[in-house]
Structure 1
Amino acid sequence: MLPPPTPENLVAFWPVGVSVVAPIAVVLAVLYLLGAVALWRRGRRWSALRTISFLLGCGILFLTGSLGLNQYAEWLVGALVFQQITLMTVVPPLLIVGSPGRLILRATPHRGIGRVALRVAHGGLRSRVASAVLHPAVAIMVAAALYLGLYLTDLVSVAIALPAGHELLLMTFLVGGIVAAVPLWSSDPLPRAPSYAARLADVGVELQIHAIFGLVLLRTPSLLFSAFSSPPPSWSVDPLFDQAVAGTLAWTYAELPLFVILIVTLARWGRRDAKLAARHQPRHEADLEEYNAYLASLERRGSSSAGDE
């Protein structure tokens, strides 16, 4: 039996029972560093900020699956929701800002098996499946399914009771978060580039989903989840309080990354419009000068006609 979920136990490293997402984080970090180092050795540039962002995402992913919080997530819905928010809204943007797709294209040799791998990657990226999966509407469906659908129907209790059910949930959260975040964050070439208006609409709907989810958990006076209704008595944890903690996390922790996306999207939109305006400015000035010259010529003709009379 686990000891009581004190703050020290929640943040302690648990080498036994580490989630599968922890070794995945290590593998991703190693592969990324190998690609970045390969470029640096060839004298080719690769952003240190991108590297830091990706490695930070890997580090948070590793901690999510290796700290004591991971052990308690099968008993406390607040711990599971914290893991979910981290895997869906915190880790994916950090990984995507690292531009791993662009790194693969630059670091992979364009001969031998590397050439084959690049062709497969290009083919997959241009496929109809990729275009459909990366549609902005999919991000909304993912958020609705993994927050409202999973919890408000108590499917989460069914899933976590399955053998390796917790691991399955964590992997689903991570993959769903990446799929939802790519259209919003990626600077790599995509089969479908959503407009800034579509991105803002996406973020707005996701904010509402988190708000509804959090409000339901906070305001419901009864227990919603059978799997989290009976924590060990020795812990002295009120399951209703635990449920309220999960709702508070949805209201606060889950919303912050989306507000960052909102600010970044507005900033990018403004920069794009400024560039377009600057690009069209010389043509506009030339047209204006031509028009002024035309008016001046008309004025000269009028003056000369008046003088002749």
Structure 2
Amino acid sequence: MVTAASATTRRVVWAVLLGVALVAGMTAASIGALALADALEVTGLGNPGPITTYGLSFVRAAGEIAAMVAVGHFLFAAFLIPPQASGVLDADGYRALRIGAVASAIWAVCGALLVALTVSDVSGLPLSELTPLNVWSAAGLVEITSAWRTTAILAAVVAVTGLAVLRWSWTPGLLVGGLATLVPLTVTGHSSAGGAHDIATNSLLIHVMAPALWAGGLLALLGHALRGGGRTDIAARRFSSMALVCFAAMATSGVVNAAVRVQPSSIWTSTYGLLIGGKVVALAGLGLLGWRQRRSSLAALQRDPTSRRPLVWLALTEATLFGVAVGVGVGLGRTPPPPPSDEPSPAEVALGFNLAESPTMASVFVEWRFDLIFGTAAVVMACLYLAAVNRLHRRGNRWSIGRTASWVIGCLTMLFATSSGLGTYMTAMFSLHVVVQLLLSIVVPALLVAGAPATLAREARRAADIGGAPGPHEWMESALNSSVTGFLTRPSTALGLFAVGICGLAIPGVFEFAVGEHATHMAMIGYFMVSGVLLFAAVVARPMSMPHRLTMLLFALSPFVVVGLVVINMQNVLGGAFYRSLRLTWHTDLLGDQRLGGAIGVAGGVVAMLAVVAVPIAQRYRHPPIAQ
């Protein structure tokens, strides 16, 4: 039964969320109107009218706040507030989930509206002159409108799914889904074009995800505190730790993204540079408020879990500043950046960097271009693993040096494959693409699985006390024991997923699609590693005899040999249109390079199969059976 007090509180919470969206929308609309003249001069298009000029920026900013609200409330239900012992969400978690679902629906509506508004904007035609048929037919022709259409569909799916969820086990998936709705926008716009767009897109991906978690989590925590929800002290403590990481990620990625878009000399002489300065000021203010939250609000809640006033007032100020920052960010996206000083080469346009000379041993090992996604992941994974080992050692427990070495070497190999000259040249050469695929799908996963990270995490993280709030130990156990994990590590599933990645080498359309865009290229790299980890995890985790393990691994690795032989005998060039578009003067024999790649695949598959057979033989000779 809904009381008058709870109804009033609910209205207050929604009023706060609406107020933040209005602040963001009005800020974005104002900046968009001011930057209209520059945008029209750069594009040469006509003025689409005030509805599009103001509406596009306003709806996008308000929609991004809705996306943050959805992500934050899914985060809150998943990790900030514990469920009931049965695994069913409690009242606070259920309420957060429903707010997240409604916010996702609003985000879907905004995405649909932005399809029409963007068509009006890019065509220079007022919205009143466009029919639904015009909008629908044009939506697939422009990259940004296609992204908005995808965003709207994803957000609608998340909204419908969120309304049907009651158990905690589904909430992490909803959080991932909420974050996924932000991905299409990160691969379009300023950051996806021109020189260094690989770094710009990767940094933008981090720059979008971090504030979504930070601002969204803050709004969810604020609403929970306004409602007088339980265990606010636990939720605030957990959020504070996460917010610090998000602040660091947002600041670092923002600096990197700005550095590849604006020269230092243009910071104070261009509208784009001034808006970046405004975002820096807003971020500094948010950092200061976050520091104040840790010093005062958390301390007050630790003394008295019902002392919410400091948290509420500081969170309201933070939320308002977040609204301004989102509005500035949307205005920044509507403002043309300063033109580059040099005309980029075809390779630089397609890849984000120039490849003027052919690869040498020196360039492969010395010329590094740090991958912000996978390079950062490798460094973070190594640090977290070593921190867990150190925690065990402080308790007096020992951990295998071999396992530690295996994990660290795996992380270093991952870093080398994605951030060294090898990772750079693999984007333009089929032969080096095969080398990287062998490393990421076989070598790196085998080393990581041999490091036994799940076992280490179980020993390093203590279980929650009886009756206490579930924490990282329980979350990990739930993930490892879930039906999804069980399905993915089933031998048949793992073998199928692994084989798909290998066979993609020999399918022209699939390969062209995978290497032709930065986003699909990154997804391909991630697929290699995930499918490899699932394969080796299935071999290690599933109870089976040694002959069965050997047979499974040999069967999994044999497609490298088969596909390599197929590629060697191909007469057409895989990804030929893309490779030719790079216009690399030193790389003209594409078919010869492809045949070399096929030979590398065959050799790599044979070596991997021999290693699989050699390991148990070596172990047998090292530890011969005892005579009866």
TM-score, normalised to structure 1, is: 0.78
> Residue 247 of structure 1: which of 598, 602, 610 is its match?
598
What is the rounded CA distance, in whole Å, between the counterparts of 2:606 and 2:381 in structure 1?
A: 26
What letter matches 1:226 in structure 2? G
**1:59-110 residue CA offsets vs partner (Å, 9 max, x unmatched):** 1111111112222222211122111110000011111111111110111123
Q: Distance in 1 between matches of 2:525 and 2:402?
A: 27
What is the CA distance between 1:261 and its match in structure 2? 2.4
- Contact 1:196–1:269, Cα closer than 8 Å, also in 2: no
2:365 is the counterpart of 1:11: yes
1:52 aligns with 2:402: no
Alignment of 1:1-309 (within 5 A): 1-7=354-360, 8-15=362-369, 18=371, 20-111=373-464, 116-184=471-539, 186=540, 190=541, 192-227=542-577, 229-230=579-580, 232-265=583-616
TM-score, normalised by the number of residues in structure 2:
0.40
Which SS does the other structure have where 2:571 is aligned?
coil
The answer to which of 214-223 and 22-31 deviates more is 214-223
- Which letter does structure 1 place at the counterpart of 2:453? P
Q: Distance in 2 between matches of 1:257 and 1:212?
A: 14
Post-superposition shift, 1:233? 4.1
Q: Residue 512 of structure 2 contacts residue 574 of structure 2 at CA under 8 Å; is this kept in 1?
A: no
Q: Which has the higher contact order (CA 8 A, sep 6+)?
A: 1
2: CA distance, partners of 1:261 / 1:117: 35
What letter is aligned with 1:13? Answer: E
Q: Match of 2:503, as an amino acid?
A: L
Give CA-to-partner distance per residue, 1:143-183, whole Å, 9 cap, x none.
Answer: 32111135324302112223422211111111111111112
Bigger shift: 44-53 or 161-170?
161-170
Contact 2:506 2:567 in 1 (8 A): no
Q: Shift of residue 266 of structure 1?
A: 5.8
CA RMSD, aligned part only? Answer: 2.7
Shift of 1:118: 1.9
Find the aligned partners of 2:463 and 2:396 in 1 and give their Cα distance.
17
What is residue 301 of structure 1 aligned with on the other side?
A: none
Q: Which runs of 5+ in 2 are unaligned?
A: 1-353
User: Residues 137 and 272 of structure 1: is their aligned pair in 2 closer, same or farther, counting only changes over 3 Å?
Assistant: farther
Q: Which moved more, 1:28-37 or 1:66-75?
A: 66-75
Deviates more, 1:205-214 or 1:55-64: 205-214
Are 2:561 and 2:605, in contact at CA under 8 Å, matched by a contact in 1? no
Report how far residue 51 of structure 1 moved: 0.7
Indicate how the Cα distance of structure 1 residues 105 and 261 shifts in structure 2: closer, same or farther if over 3 A, else same. same
Check 1:35–1:195 CA distance in 2 against 1; reply closer, same or farther (3 A cut): same
Aligned length: 271
Q: Distance in 2 between matches of 1:237 and 1:145?
A: 29
Question: Does the 8 Å contact 2:463/2:473 carry over to 1?
Answer: yes
Give the CA deviation at 1:274.
5.2
User: Aligned pair in 2 of structure 1 residues 49, 202: CA closer, same or farther (>3 Å)?
Assistant: same
Letter in 2 for 1:242: D
Please list the CA deviations of residues 29-53 of structure 1 after superposition, one character each: whole Å capped at 9, or x if unmatched.
Answer: 0000000011111111111111111
- Residue identity in the other structure for 2:384: L
Q: Answer whether contact 1:147 1:210 (CA < 8 A) is retained.
A: yes
Bigger mean CA offset, 67-76 vs 32-41: 67-76
Structure 1, unmatched stretches of 5+, are 282-309
Matched residues, percent identical?
Answer: 27
Q: Which moved more, 1:36-45 or 1:148-157?
A: 148-157
Q: 1:261 to 1:53 in 2, by over 3 A?
A: same
**Contact 1:139/1:202 (CA < 8 Å) preserved in 2?**
no
* d(CA) in 2 for partners of 1:265, 1:114: 44
Distance 2:373 2:585 in 1: 29
Residue 122 of structure 2 is matched in structure 1 by none
